[in-house]
């Protein structure tokens, strides 16, 4: 099995664990912004320390850090933050389910952006796998509420969030490519350290402005929030390592396995029952994942 496949599946699994931990943080007196910030606050120093240790241990020299690397890091980091806030904003809107469904267009959008920005096209077989996976994710999304419309803010927020998540993936892929000829894992660590450092600074400024006192609450609950940071860093490292090895479109398409892990967790941990529609969606996502894996076997 290809290394990028292993890193992607590991990242998807770790992200599921992080989401479960962040859900618990909501009950610890933290706002959505505080729970989100905890991911970056503790991930940044860990990633930076690991990057320095790897560079010192291997003796590898960083290439000249140019404006393209910084631009890709900024694109990835800022797009991810804004996309996350848009997704959270959907939950305060009526008929938010349709908007959340539209965020799943990320896999299609990342393939388009990858071709335009990085010049990395997707094969016809790849598009077929992406389409099947997308159909599966839509089946796993909640159905439309009575009176729901396919126009309005939910759809706009959903499409924007999906587009920004895809731009984030492209930014991170581009950042790792700018660090060539370093080994892929070193490139992933350095790019991750730069991105999480930027996100920590931006989120700190945002919370100080919009939610005074939330920074202190995150710090005082460090025994619980540090686990979010560690799992978030490990999951992100998996994504970055995969981006350093493979076209972002294939990585994000394979990463849809995360929703399968989430459904499994809901059954085993929260004792929820799966609907027939949800089981069909899982089957399509698994089929999509298998198609992508086998095409690179």
pLDDT of residue 143: 52
**Domain map (residue ranges) of the chain:** 3-295
Confidence at 221, pLDDT banded by 50, 70, 90: confident
Q: Is the pLDDT of residue 101 over 80?
A: no
pLDDT tens digits, 207-217:
999 999 988 88
pLDDT of residue 32: 72
pLDDT of residue 284: 87
Q: Is the pLDDT of residue 253 over 60?
A: yes
Q: Which residue has the higher pLDDT, 291 or 92?
A: 291
Confidence at 178, pLDDT banded by 50, 70, 90: very high
Q: Which residue has the higher pLDDT, 51 or 276?
A: 51
pLDDT of residue 97: 57
* Interval 116-132 mean pLDDT: 91
Q: Rg (Cα) of the chain, in Å, rounded?
A: 19
Confidence at 24, pLDDT banded by 50, 70, 90: low
Least confident of 95-104, 171-180, 256-265: 95-104
What is the chain's mean pLDDT, rounded?
84
* Interval 189-196 mean pLDDT: 96
Burial class (CB in 10 A: 0-12, 13-18, 19+), 181: exposed
- Other residues' Cβ atoms within 10 Å of the Cβ of residue 136: 25
pLDDT tens digits, 224-249:
778 878 888 899 999 999 999 999 99
Contacts of 102 (CB under 8 A, 6+ apart): 154, 155, 158, 159, 161, 162
Most confident of 38-42, 141-145, 151-155, 202-206: 202-206
Contacts of 200 (CB under 8 A, 6+ apart): 37, 40, 41, 44
């Amino acid at each position: 099995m290809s290394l990028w496949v292993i890193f992607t599946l590991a990242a998807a699994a770790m992200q599921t664990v992080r989401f479960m931990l962040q859900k618990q943080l909501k009950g610890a007196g933290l706002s959505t912004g505080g729970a989100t910030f905890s991911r970056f606050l503790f991930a940044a120093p860990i990633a930076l320390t690991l990057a320095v240790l790897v560079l010192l241990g291997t003796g590898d020299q960083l290439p000249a850090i140019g404006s393209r690397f910084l631009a890709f890091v900024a694109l990835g980091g800022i797009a991810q933050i804004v996309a996350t806030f848009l997704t959270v904003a959907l939950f305060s809107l009526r008929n938010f389910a349709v908007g959340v469904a539209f965020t799943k267009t990320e896999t299609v959008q990342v393939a388009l952006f990858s071709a335009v920005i990085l010049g990395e096209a997707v094969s016809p077989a790849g598009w077929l796998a992406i389409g099947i996976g997308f159909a599966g994710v839509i089946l796993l999304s909640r159905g439309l509420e009575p009176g729901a419309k396919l126009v309005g803010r939910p759809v706009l927020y959903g499409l924007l969030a999906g587009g920004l998540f895809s731009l984030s993936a492209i930014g991170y892929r581009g950042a790792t490519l700018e660090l060539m000829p370093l080994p892929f894992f070193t490139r992933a660590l350095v790019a991750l350290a730069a991105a999480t450092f930027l996100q920590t600074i931006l989120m700190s400024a945002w919370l100080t402005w919009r939610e005074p006192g939330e920074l202190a609450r995150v710090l005082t609950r460090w025994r619980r929030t540090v686990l979010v940071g560690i799992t978030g860093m490990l999951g992100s490292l998996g994504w970055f390592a995969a981006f350093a090895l493979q076209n972002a479109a294939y990585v994000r398409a394979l990463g849809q396995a995360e929703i399968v892990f989430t459904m499994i967790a809901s059954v085993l941990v929260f004792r929820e029952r799966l609907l027939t529609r949800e089981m069909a969606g899982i089957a399509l996502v698994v089929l999509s994942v298998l198609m992508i894996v086998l095409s690179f076997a």
